[in-house]
Amino acid sequence: MKSDNSEANLAKRHDVLKLLLNQEGLRLTNQRQKILDLFTTTLAGEHLSANEIHHLMTQQGETVSYSTIYRALHVMVELGVLREVELAEDRKYYELHTPFASQHHHLVCVHCGEVVEFEDNRVTKASQQETVERGFLFRTCQFTVFGICQQCHSSSYLKDRF
């Protein structure tokens, strides 16, 4: 059962999304609301793909098409509610975008797909500096490092290859 605080946070997120959508002449549909709910109830640091969203919604008894999910994700990314991250080749994932929280970045194992989030203000500061020097306005910073995790590196298969 959700606590009163988490219900209040969920209601606040819905209000913000509804306001942003209204400013763009759009409305908060049931599908958009349910997709936002998925992100607010997932564990911190968890990223969801469109396929995972479809699966979770289907498990909840929702009937929703992939095109509806992709459209909703696109709108929420454009509004700054979600952040799109590419953590695997040609695979996009989504996470809640919290612009007032510190920026986080990702380490991705190219063998097993493990994703580890990390914070490093030097990355964000360097990005902000480059932005200013090149006449851009800073919006967000996304830094992804692709490598091989310790567990995969320790396996005999990969030890021989690297």
pLDDT tens for the chain, residues 1 to 162: 444 455 666 667 677 777 888 888 888 888 888 998 888 777 665 788 999 999 999 999 999 999 999 999 999 888 888 888 877 666 788 888 765 445 778 888 888 878 888 888 888 888 889 999 999 988 777 788 888 888 888 875 555 565
Kindly state which CATH superfamily the domain 102-162 is placed in.
Ferric-uptake regulator, C-terminal dimerisarion domain (3.30.1490.190)
Q: How many Å apart are CA 124 and CA 88, to the nearest integer? A: 22
The radius of gyration of the chain's CA atoms, rounded to the nearest angstrom, is 18
CA angle 115-78-5, nearest 5°? 65
Q: How far is CA 75 from CA 8, 33, 39, 79, 105, in A?
A: 23, 12, 15, 6, 23
Residue 109's pLDDT is 87
Judge: domain 1-97, CATH 1.20.1260.10. Answer: no
What does the pLDDT read at residue 89? 66
Give how far Cα 11 sits from Cα of 16, 17, 24, Å: 9, 10, 20
Where along the chain do its domains lie?
A: 1-97, 102-162
- Residue (of 153, 133, 129, 149) closest to 141 by Cα position: 129
